[in-house]
Structure 1
Amino acid sequence: MPRVIIDRAAFTETLRLKDPDAFLLLEFLRFRHGGGAFDVHDEVRREMPEQGGWTMTRFAGTRGRLIAGGYLVVERMASNRPRRLGAATRADPATR
């Protein structure tokens, strides 16, 4: 799940003609998130406007093409590592 921003300068008319899935996902994300950075969760595929949403393969491929084409700019990649909130470290004086 990458955190992305939409490149507003990208020319989308060519995208609409060459890759309708990419155009549809980009417009969906623009409508849903407007400006600023946001996470593109895999579960977004279930909300795509078709019966039952998109398959994971279709969604991931389309998202990848938008990133590769510069329409979505990756701000940071999500980590699968669990966060350790409040974990004490050896340098923490409270643990001594």
Structure 2
Amino acid sequence: MALRNAGIDYIEFPYNPSQVLTADDATGEYINFLWMEQGIIFPEFGLPEDKQAQRMLEQLFPWKTITGIPATDLSRSGGILNCISWNIMQ
């Protein structure tokens, strides 16, 4: 409510921490997607929220190609697609 009172709009994005094993585990964090010029790659975890996250991204960014990739193993290390791309040189 404080965000809306401050005039900041937001949407609730899918999240499912049910498979999290440690404090560093990012399993279920769909917001950690990779934004690229050609499209968006988002993490999939084999959870019901996978499809919900894909639908939301397709609705929010209809001009982008939305592709999901399995990311459970990667997420166990604490970061997912956006995090691991920080050091990629262009």
Q: TM-score, normalised by structure 2?
A: 0.33
Bigger helix fraction: 1
Bigger relative CO (Cα 8 Å, ≥ 6 apart) = 1
Q: TM-score, normalised by structure 1?
A: 0.31
Structure exhibiting the larger radius of gyration computed from Cα positions: 1
